A and B are shown apart, each in its own frame.
Chain A
Amino acid sequence: MTIIEQRPDKTTNTQTAYVNARLMDPASGLDRPGGLITMGENIHAVGPDITKNGLPENTEIIDCKGLVLCPGLVDFRVQLGSLSGTCRAAASGGITSLVTLPDMDPVIDDPAIVEFIARRARKLGLAKVYVYGAASKAMQGELIAEYGLLAEAGALAFSDGLHAIKDSRMMRQILSYAATFGYLIACHPEDAALARNGVATEGELTTRLGLTGIPEQAEVIQIERDIRILELTGGRLHIANVSTAAGIYAIKAGKAKGLALTCDTAPPYFALNEGAINGYRTFAKLSPPLRLEQDRLAVINAIKDGTIDLITSDHTPRDEESKRLPFQEAAAGGVGLNTLLAVSLDLYHNGQLPLMDVIKLLTVTPAELLKLDAGKLVPGHAADFILFDPDRGWKVSENTLYSKSKNSPFDGRPVQGQVMLTIVDGRPVFKNQKEFA
């Protein structure tokens, strides 16, 4: 398997045909055998009529062997870590567009930083990297950031990452000012005071392990407050990493009121429960922490009934040293780019969602929410797509992750579903060597 970093010297208009594929495009509902032709950086044609016969001369033909060909995944929330490591992991995971949180050094609260990251990512060419602007200056929760100027520089939405906005009035000003321009505000749902020093969900397990707990109520309290403020201000609120039954219930009620309210979750919250931290396994220390089994089931139900709008990787790289510490002191967060598709496909393999719906949660829904031209197969638009085998099994290990950091909560887990080829702007950026040498 290889990552292909070198970009072509100049854009060419060569045609490539990907034939004998199972085309899946949630935006149009297309699910049929067929093919796709790229011309240069764009999709030239897509549909059931495209076969290896009748193609123009000089067209390179790639036989997809019946694998699923779908839009490249759009990852709604990623922590960047090292740019090249993150982009490599994204390419290997079939992610062609990703949005990074502003939790960087320096914080993304200045238009110049937005431009700097975009320029570096473009040069690398492995994935399309977009950014969240900080919701508050230096993510201190005290002063509003320059949303208008940041958006002009390219920021897609605004968030203080893992820092919940503590002050209710500040939250009001943030939502209200963002509503001026129609921008999306994404929030971490955790009451900071209740969560202080906590490392796991409070309950039997924290009592037995002797860890400081975070009560589950910390999530729903923050969500309820933010929804009430959204009612006051109008605007668009997105709640990140929803993980509790009570939080989901509150969001469902908020959506029923007709508010512009959306939310997401990440694979750990529907594929793992708090039991994963047993033995003080720091790779399973996340923020928010892993929850009880009934919460995990509630998350699956909320994905099924549409309360949860989309799935993100919530990729949070941590260096080895910050995880090789006593559980209480270890850093929270797990890498997820590489495993996003495979673990999400659990929902399909367990009979909880049709394959098309799983892909939709990972492509067109996040793209539309961010008003991003991505996540669908449309002629004339960028040729960002993937080929994957939904059934092929593999085991998550540090050798399969591609990111520089190896802190996956799914480390050692057998999963089903493998990306074979990732195409960005018509160019392969990841190939599963065995299949597409």
Chain B
Amino acid sequence: MRTMETVSSDFSHRHLLGIEGLAPPEITALLDRSDVFAEQNRRRDKTGTSLQGRTIVNLFYEASTRTRTSFELAGKRLGADIINMSVATSSVNKGETLIDTAMTLNAMHPDVLVVRHPSSGAVRLLAEKVNCAVINGGDGQHEHPTQALLDALTIRRRRGRLEGLRIAICGDILHSRVARSNIHLLGTMGCEIRLIAPQTLMPMNVETMGVKTYTRMEDGLEGCDIVMMLRLQRERMKSSFLPSIKEYFRFFGLDYKKLEYAAKDALIMHPGPMNRGVEIDTEVADDVGRSVIREQVEMGVAVRMACLEILSDNLGRSRGAP
């Protein structure tokens, strides 16, 4: 079992702002530690004390249920004090800028800030202005690193490895930070990544990120070990990315017919929240033999515990505290 000491020596960053740029040993260190917490979370006594006395602030500029709850639970299981700030109740609504909010919070000496923001790059901007560790809980269409880590953990626990797997990421790639973080992480770990989307939802020149692109599910799913579906926002119809939900489901929704093109034992993943009958057929989503969607949620808590613990520990070292 991987101990905290060995993990910290492998992952020495102050913040977790994205997956891009992380080396395979760093990712492996985070996943190994997450594995430990995944086991711990299944025990009757789930709580630890490693973050006792630490303060974590969840700063969410965008609606979120699962990510915020997941971080909150992760912090509590490690014994930290954790508070939630959401836009609706904060002074952001009173016109305070992002940086002013950061400075104000910083003055209260939190140890870790978990930030979600609708603008790409906003979390990095904030991280430059504070003394504490910052975890990106999703910034615009840029990155969502803990989602990619929990996806990787789910896959690794099921398949025993990441390297060499063929993975399809399907749907609204253009607007998806989940897709970008997964491309970085799974690519770094040696997976073959295939993106499947209508051309209107495929980002320009995405091939330069080391992926193959497909516009037909039947072609892209060929022999895939993992099928990751992305959430499609209904607003995409109004801005002419797509004509209709009916057409999208017909050509890009995951049903058993399309799934036949993937490997026989292919696993189905979705970052949630799902639109049943839009990007995924309801029977496929609930297929206990294939769908690991609920397991992803479970792994989310473990991954966030690992991230909170490692960053707090690194913070202690840089501040000279124990």
Contact = CB atoms under 8 A, between A and B. Distances in A.
Partners in one complex: yes
Interface of A: 137, 142-149, 169-170, 173-174, 176-177, 179-181, 233-235
A143 B237 contact: yes
A177 B237 contact: no
Contacts of B250: 148-149
Contacts of A146: 243-244, 246-247
Residue among A144, A145, A233, A235 facing the most chain B CB atoms (10 A cut-off): A144
B279 to A, nearest CB: 15
A142 B241 CA distance: 11
Interface string B182-224: 0000000000000000111000000000000001000000000
A144 B199 contact: no
Contacts of A169: 240
Interface of B: 198-200, 215, 237-238, 240-244, 246-247, 250-251
13 contacts: A142-B240, A143-B238, A144-B200, A146-B243, A149-B244, A173-B200, A174-B240, A176-B200, A177-B241, A180-B198, A180-B200, A180-B215, A235-B199
B37 to A, nearest CB: 42
Given A144-B200, A177-B198, 16 more contacts: A143-B237, A144-B241, A144-B243, A146-B246, A148-B250, A148-B251, A149-B250, A173-B241, A174-B240, A177-B199, A177-B200, A177-B240, A177-B243, A179-B199, A181-B215, A235-B199
Contacts of B215: 179-181
Given A180-B215, A181-B215, A233 B240 contact: no
B232 to A, nearest CB: 14
B247 A149 contact: yes
A233 B215 CA distance: 13
Contacts of B198: 177, 180
Considering the complex of A and B, which 8 residue pairs feature the smallest CB-CB distances, nearest first? A180-B198, A173-B240, A146-B243, A146-B247, A144-B243, A180-B215, A180-B199, A176-B199
Contact of B199 (A137, A143, A148, A233): A233
A343 to B, nearest CB: 38
A237 B199 CA distance: 16
Contacts of B244: 146, 149
Contacts of A234: 199
A43 B3 CA distance: 79
Contacts of A180: 198-200, 215
Contacts of A147: 243, 247
Nearest to A141: B240
Contact of B247 (A148, A170, A173, A235): A148
Contacts of B199: 176-177, 179-180, 233-235
B242 A144 contact: yes
B243 A137 contact: yes
B216 to A, nearest CB: 8
Contact of A149 (B237, B240, B246): B246
Contacts of A174: 240
A234 B251 CA distance: 20
A170 B238 CA distance: 11
A185 to B, nearest CB: 13
B246 A144 contact: no
A277 B74 CA distance: 80
Contacts of B246: 146, 149
B246 to A, nearest CB: 7
Nearest to A177: B200
Nearest to B198: A180
A144 B238 CA distance: 9
A88 B244 CA distance: 37
B200 A143 contact: no
Nearest to A175: B199
B173 to A, nearest CB: 13
A145 B200 contact: no
Contacts of A144: 200, 240-243
Contacts of B242: 144, 177
With a 10 A CB-CB cut-off, give which of B215, B246, B247, B250 has the most chain A CB atoms.
B247
A179 to B, nearest CB: 5
Contacts of A235: 199
Nearest to A179: B199
Interface centre among B199, B238, B250 (most CB of A within 10 A): B199
B118 to A, nearest CB: 21
A234 B215 CA distance: 13
Nearest to B241: A173
B227 to A, nearest CB: 19
A172 B202 CA distance: 13
B239 to A, nearest CB: 8
A179 B199 CA distance: 7
Contacts of A181: 215
Contacts of A179: 199, 215
B200 A170 contact: no
A143 B240 contact: yes
Nearest to B239: A173
Contacts of A170: 240
A141 to B, nearest CB: 10
A234 B205 CA distance: 13
Nearest to A170: B240
A176 B241 CA distance: 9
Contacts of A142: 240
A138 to B, nearest CB: 12
B255 to A, nearest CB: 15
A145 B240 contact: no
Nearest to A167: B240
A55 B194 CA distance: 59
A43 B198 CA distance: 40
B277 to A, nearest CB: 16
A169 B200 CA distance: 11
Interface centre among A145, A146, A174 (most CB of B within 10 A): A146
A180 B171 CA distance: 13
Nearest to A172: B200
A180 B215 CA distance: 5
B110 to A, nearest CB: 42
Q: Which of B200, B237, B250 has the most CB of A within 10 A?
A: B200
Contacts of A143: 237-238, 240, 243
A135 to B, nearest CB: 11
Contacts of B243: 137, 143-147, 177
A145 B251 CA distance: 14
A140 to B, nearest CB: 11
A177 B215 CA distance: 10
Contacts of B247: 146-149
B221 to A, nearest CB: 16
A173 B215 CA distance: 15
Nearest to B215: A180
A143 B244 CA distance: 9
Nearest to A173: B240
